[in-house]
Structure 1
Amino acid sequence: MKFGITSRLALVLALVGMLVSGFTGFYAFSVSRSLLVQSAQNELLTSTQVLARRLALTRQEISRNLLVLATHPAALASLQGKGPASEQQLVTLFELVMEANPAYFQVRLISVQDGGPEQVRVDRDSGTLLRVTGDDLQEKGHFPYVYETLKLPFGETYLSPITINHERGAHAGLERPTVQLATPVTDARGTVFGVLVINVDLNGVFAMLSADLPPDFQLFLANRNGDFLIHPDPTHAFGFDKGRRYLVQQEFPETADLVTGKATKAFAQSNQGAYADAPILLSFMGRPLDVASGEDRLILGLAQPLESVLRQADQLGAGILRIVALVCLGCLVLAIFLARAITRPINMMNMAIQRFSNDNHMLSLPVARQDEIGMLARSFQHMQNLIKRQVEDLQDSREELEHLAQHDMLTDLPNRRMFMERLEQAIARALRNDEEFALLFIDVDNFKQINDTLGHAAGDAVLRTVAQRLAGSTRKVDTVARLGGDEFVVLLDNFSQREQIAGFTEKLLAVLKTPMPFGENPIHVEFSIGISQFPENGATSEDIINNADRAMYKTKAGGRNGYRFTSDANTQPNLL
């Protein structure tokens, strides 16, 4: 059989077509696989950051509970030995706090005198709350969470190292992973009389924080030395407590710089040892602690099965393989008759593939042709659209996560993180333009009673209504945010006159106090407001918020249902 130029050209074109198609398919599959892995890593890092921020917010909430208990008059009165009535009142407060926070193992008031005896103590035991009295009260002055806390100024929090609790008589917290948070109890002159300590269930806190994660995600936590505190394999957690060391930098070498503090984040893939049968993709963050602590950082990690990440890539690879097979068959059949005709479209296809692989830009393809080239073009266009949709979906998911990280889920108002950013911007703008502004700290009076009597659905309805009314009563340049619980803040931009601020506050109280619809019976709600001004009441964001917060609590102490400026001696009642 004699081969002419047409046959040879057809054969060459067929072979070239097969090679080009195979290479293109492999390259497209490799690029898609890499893009999917990279997108999954970024999404995993975002989830880790969100979890870390939620952990920080949880720690701040515990610190606020500590401060509320430590500043209650019954705490100081109990330490000064003013009778059992104060102690019983404090026991009631402890029990209320522990009922609202199931992750609290223990709340204690410890005196600074005579070796640090426990003055008031409530433990969680077998699902009930138990007050510990008499000889069961112990001396704790030799524990770091006592003597280190005594060195702190009023309002500061000490965070103990995370360990297994071996303290005698710890009831539900015994032999459980725990961390203690403590704050000093002082009188008005700053004299320290004792410390208030909350023991927190580490597993319970992380179970609550990770409840919204996908079920196949795995959680890791390590201390500053890299010892695992939380691990999918329970035998690896707190190995140092059992005389063994299980280190994150040994299991995942990519995290070595996190342990030494040279890096703040790390990615890893593991397909060896325990993960040989089920490889995983991991994201780690090294987070320094912003409180006095025996730990200077924690390493938080999330893992996702690599199989779930690459499942889409495998589906895409199967599609690419079918397309390549179809192209090869088309080349074999059509190359004999269309040797010259197919040269230009193949080059066009190759250019489109290269351009799409480099920057996802979609060039025009010969989809109108009614032959194998057209079929290939349509198939590749379908593949392009599929990849583009997947990338857009990943981008939408990332934007949604970013929105969730900056907004409150119940009211869709900016959360604490976003509000703090805007407050810092307002301070910088005020300093630059020699302006002033005011901050209103708003708290719903008797909000717990609403939840207890009408249910959490009513409480949620009240919070959403408050958010809508605050947003509707302010300007676009102002910022309304929910800090958490029933606490809201309003940043009034360029408000400088006290009378102007007071007038706005009274109008706002009138709007907020309008009965709120819920079922057949409207809910009547009152509010306490604290007001601070910049720069009169503080030069930093923390000072401004803290002063407004203190003014709000003074409003509550003065009878609720009103407002108070930071510098006021008395609460301004709401007469409407």
Structure 2
Amino acid sequence: MRLRISFKLAILLALVGALAAGLTGFYAYEASRKLQLNSARTELLTSTQMLARRITLMQGEITRNLQMLTRHPVALATLLYGRTSDADQVATLFDGVMTANPAYLQVRLISADGHGMERVRLDRIGSLAVRLVGDDLQEKGHFPYVADALRLPLGGTWLSRISINHETGTYAGLDQPLLQLAMPVMDDQGLARGVVVINVDLNGLFGLLAADLPGSYQLYLANGAGDVLIHPDATQTFGFDRGRRVLLQSEFPDTVSLFTGQAAPVLIDRSEALPGRPPQVAAFIPQSIESPDNDNRLVIGLAQPLSFVLARSDEVGSAIVRIVLGLCALSAALAVVVSRAVSRPINAVTEAARRFETGEPAGELPVDRQDEIGSLARSFQKMQTRIAQQLLDLKDKQDQLEHLSHHDTLTDLPNRRLFSDRLAQALAYARRHGEEVTVLFLDLDDFKRINDEFGHEAGDLLLQGLARRLQAQMREVDTVARLGGDEFVVLLGTPAHPVHAGQIAEKLMALIGEPVDSPMGLLQVGVSVGISQYPRDGETADQIMANADRAMYAAKKVAGSSYRFAAEASVRGEGA
């Protein structure tokens, strides 16, 4: 009888071990697939958001280049007087801009007079910027990038529809995807004397933006109506240029909401293959732009083949199968050994239950036996304790990473990301309650001298000392952040009258102007402060920051260790 019980118990333990190993392996494989898919979706969404941010930054950079070119005195002089020497200087400026920006196909200075005659024109021929002169210069007054741009205010930017370039006489980028931006050149009376036009190679632009993405990623771009502009299959792009519409929402129906005003990202897990297209994981987000011709928005997406995403899961699955088979064999071997040792305490428990049923003393139970059961219990307890400690350690590391992602590593002040979040929250609150928001942009004067004379270690010590002063002196409701380098920014937590804001700026200048003691001696710098206030100086966070930055440069240009309001800088025409 005992042998029979031991045999049955061995079979039962072996089956239980095999079943447990099989179920664990199955659910581990399923969990691995889900985790891999979730990770892929998260990475795709993060990469898509990063790409959209790069597009915004690139558009801003082009706009800043246009501002620099249109506000340069020699551009206006060329339009007014037509001197060859002025035109040569403009051509040199254009050449420098095109050299620094490989995606620029063409930069032109076009006069408002003479039916929009091109005064200075540089085309990209290969890798070189080539200036066209004489009969190669054409009249462009009938093109919207001239006619519409001349009607814009100072600093206004005209943005074309993204389309195939069919403009006659355009040697650079002919029959290629093109984006055009233009800005008027104003005289002192505010009259538009001409425009500066930049033609951007769309493929080259997105090639630069997507250069750091993994090779398995597939890039999609559509205008606000859904027309495909960039697609892994080039034959699907710019269908409207060939007399047919190729829409992104036709290939990805879930993206329809993005073309009707939805701002939330769309994540797609398409497990079924379409003709010519394998199963994919994709992420799409809308990107607002100031271009009515593109319906004021673009839709950007990144996709990845599902087979590539799940390749690692398949490797994990093969490993799990081997582990399960090994565990089954081990369970069968151990079941024979364990069954005999387990049968004894089982019999003791059975006897105790029988004795309890009859009202007899139960006797001692084998709860403290030093056998496999006791060892298993102790091992489980140790494992539980260890896992709990590991979870605590993981939580601490996550908290540290969260802190690092929102704070500057040198000064421990909030970084640009955290500051942007707080500024956005402050603006949202101000819009609801009709209040003001004040931002002070600080840039240290003569900081380069500290690095040059005393070394970068001294510069770091100076930045740390100034950061501690700012943090100690400002209120808890205020936000002091370091944007990078020697740039700091302060967001006042309560509305401030311009007079009060100026007093705060003076207080900050005095505070920063005090020497910082260091092993290299006393370190001292000045600071230039730009002040921008919502809603007077802008409606959005980007406008507020840009105007504060411009006011700071106005202060730095006029005199070191001073401050300027954005409105004052705008009236005087001062800026970066």
Aligned to 2:218: 218
**What is the 5 A alignment of 1:538-549?**
541=541, 544-549=544-549
Aligned to 1:356: none
**What is the 5 A alignment of 1:69-84?**
69-81=69-81, 83-84=83-84
Alpha carbons of structure 1 residues 470 and 173: separation in structure 2 relative to 1, 3 Å: farther
Computing the radius of gyration from Cα coordinates, the structure with the larger value is 2
**What is the 5 A alignment of 1:485-500?**
489-491=489-491, 497=500, 500=503
Matches of 2:307 and 2:371, distance apart in 1:
38
Aligned to 2:118: 118
Could you tell me whether the CA contact under 8 Å between 1:469 and 1:511 is conserved in 2? no
Aligned to 1:177: 177
Could you tell me whether the CA contact under 8 Å between 2:7 and 2:339 is conserved in 1? no
What is the TM-score normalised by the length of structure 1? Answer: 0.70
Could you tell me whether the CA contact under 8 Å between 2:513 and 2:527 is conserved in 1? no
Alpha carbons of structure 1 residues 538 and 25: separation in structure 2 relative to 1, 3 Å: closer
Letter of the structure 1 residue corresponding to residue 339 of structure 2: L
**What is the 5 A alignment of 1:122-521?**
122-187=122-187, 190-241=190-241, 247-259=247-259, 261=261, 264-269=265-270, 272=273, 273-276=275-278, 280-333=280-333, 338=339, 341=342, 418-426=418-426, 439-442=439-442, 471-475=467-471, 477=476, 479=479, 489-491=489-491, 497=500, 500-507=503-510, 510=513
Could you tell me whether the CA contact under 8 Å between 1:224 and 1:297 is conserved in 2? yes
Alpha-carbon distance, 1:283 to partner: 1.8
List per-residue Cα deviations over 1:210-254 (Å, max 9, x = no partner).
233234333222333444333334444445545666543444444
Alpha-carbon distance, 1:202 to partner: 2.1
Which shows bigger deviation, 309-318 or 254-263? 254-263
Aligned to 1:360: none
Letter of the structure 1 residue corresponding to residue 266 of structure 2: K
Alpha-carbon distance, 1:314 to partner: 3.0
Letter of the structure 2 residue corresponding to residue 267 of structure 1: I
What is the TM-score normalised by the length of structure 2? Answer: 0.70
Alpha carbons of structure 1 residues 562 and 331: separation in structure 2 relative to 1, 3 Å: closer
Aligned to 2:28: 28
- The alignment partner of 1:474 has SS state of helix
Alpha carbons of structure 1 residues 436 and 250: separation in structure 2 relative to 1, 3 Å: closer
Matches of 1:460 and 1:97, distance apart in 2:
31
Matches of 1:131 and 1:414, distance apart in 2:
47
- The alignment partner of 2:145 has SS state of helix
Alpha carbons of structure 1 residues 557 and 329: separation in structure 2 relative to 1, 3 Å: closer
List per-residue Cα deviations over 1:110-135 (Å, max 9, x = no partner).
33345433233232223222333332
- Verify: 1:49 aligned to 2:49, yes or no: yes
Q: CA RMSD in A?
A: 5.3
Could you tell me whether the CA contact under 8 Å between 1:111 and 1:118 is conserved in 2? yes
- The alignment partner of 1:196 has SS state of strand
- The alignment partner of 2:64 has SS state of helix
Matches of 1:66 and 1:167, distance apart in 2:
21
Could you tell me whether the CA contact under 8 Å between 2:41 and 2:267 is conserved in 1? no
Matches of 2:568 and 2:417, distance apart in 1:
29
- The alignment partner of 2:310 has SS state of helix
List per-residue Cα deviations over 1:409-463 (Å, max 9, x = no partner).
999976665434323445577899999875333568899xx9xxx99xx999999
Matches of 1:409 and 1:93, distance apart in 2:
38
Alpha-carbon distance, 1:45 to partner: 0.9
**What is the 5 A alignment of 1:91-102?**
91-102=91-102
Aligned to 2:40: 40
Alpha-carbon distance, 1:185 to partner: 3.3
Alpha carbons of structure 1 residues 433 and 114: separation in structure 2 relative to 1, 3 Å: closer
Letter of the structure 2 residue corresponding to residue 63 of structure 1: T
Matches of 1:227 and 1:419, distance apart in 2:
36
Could you tell me whether the CA contact under 8 Å between 1:264 and 1:287 is conserved in 2? no
Alpha carbons of structure 1 residues 567 and 133: separation in structure 2 relative to 1, 3 Å: same
- The alignment partner of 1:31 has SS state of helix
- The alignment partner of 1:338 has SS state of helix
Matches of 1:534 and 1:257, distance apart in 2:
32
- The alignment partner of 2:339 has SS state of coil
Matches of 1:228 and 1:436, distance apart in 2:
42
Could you tell me whether the CA contact under 8 Å between 1:248 and 1:255 is conserved in 2? yes
Alpha carbons of structure 1 residues 240 and 94: separation in structure 2 relative to 1, 3 Å: same
Q: Structure 2: which 5+ runs fail to align? A: 347-369
Alpha carbons of structure 1 residues 77 and 32: separation in structure 2 relative to 1, 3 Å: same
Letter of the structure 2 residue corresponding to residue 181 of structure 1: L
Could you tell me whether the CA contact under 8 Å between 2:155 and 2:183 is conserved in 1? yes
Alpha-carbon distance, 1:486 to partner: 8.6
Letter of the structure 2 residue corresponding to residue 182 of structure 1: A
Q: Structure 1: which 5+ runs fail to align? A: 346-367, 518-522, 572-576
Matches of 2:132 and 2:258, distance apart in 1:
42
Matches of 2:508 and 2:323, distance apart in 1:
68
Alpha-carbon distance, 1:48 to partner: 1.2
Which shows bigger deviation, 51-60 or 249-258? 249-258
- The alignment partner of 2:470 has SS state of coil
